[in-house]
Amino acid sequence: MANVYISEVLCFISNNYEKLTANKLKPVLINFYKNEELCTANEILFKSISTAVQHVRRAIDLPRITKRQGPNKCKQTVDDLITLRYRG
């Protein structure tokens, strides 16, 4: 049975991924969502991709999930989300 996660951030990315370029999507995410929401979405996406990769037994090089710190942590978290979305 699959786990179901609800994330407004991931829903927004999924619904607008084809409509907007990454350069247009990133500022919207940074300005609208709180850092906690972005970090939670990043963790959910990373765990989901890792689980899917294990189920299909396919070797894929995923980046490490990093707890971002400092003044640019929202931007870096959004960069991580977009990078994972492109790989996923």
Residues 45-74 have pLDDT tens digits of 888 877 777 666 666 666 666 676 777 778
Residue 33: per-residue pLDDT: 94
> Mean per-residue pLDDT for 75-85?
81
User: For the chain, what are the domain ranges?
Assistant: 21-87
Nearest residue to 22 via CA among 32, 9, 11, 13: 13
Residues 17-41 have pLDDT tens digits of 889 888 999 999 999 999 899 989 9
Q: What is the pTM of this model?
A: 0.75
